[in-house]
């Protein structure tokens, strides 16, 4: 959601879409096209919702893993900087 203002300056919420993410998701779902084409509507809806649920869990897990990795790298960089300062002060 984004906040926009009307002609009177009043704020209102507006939906925002990330079209690149939509394209990536559609490409991923395209891999299941043959399976989905043969399903009845009830099974189709269940399968689609289930796959989206697991895909969302996977994406969130990957984001957390990358954030931990970046944090670890930053801490290592800070430690390396302190080691270099200590070596310079010993000289």
pLDDT tens track for 25-67? 889 889 989 999 999 999 999 999 999 899 889 989 999 999 9
Q: 87 falls in which pLDDT band (50, 70, 90)?
A: low
pTM above threshold 0.75: no
CB–CB of 39/47 below 8 Å?
yes
Indicate the domain borders of the chain. 2-90
Distance of alpha carbon 49 from alpha carbon 90, whole angstroms: 62
Distance of alpha carbon 54 from alpha carbon 47, whole angstroms: 11
Q: Kindly state the percentage of the chain with pLDDT values over 90.
A: 30
Q: Which residue has the higher pLDDT, 43 or 13?
A: 43
């Amino acid at each position: 959601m984004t906040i926009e203002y009307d002609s009177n300056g009043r704020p209102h919420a507006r939906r925002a879409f990330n079209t690149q993410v939509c394209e990536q998701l559609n490409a991923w779902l395209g891999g299941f096209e043959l399976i989905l084409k043969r399903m009845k509507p009830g099974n189709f809806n269940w399968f689609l919702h289930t796959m989206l649920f697991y895909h969302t869990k996977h994406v969130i897990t990957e984001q957390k893993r990358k954030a931990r990795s970046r944090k670890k790298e930053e801490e290592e960089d800070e430690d390396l900087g302190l080691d270099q300062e200590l070596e310079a002060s010993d000289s």
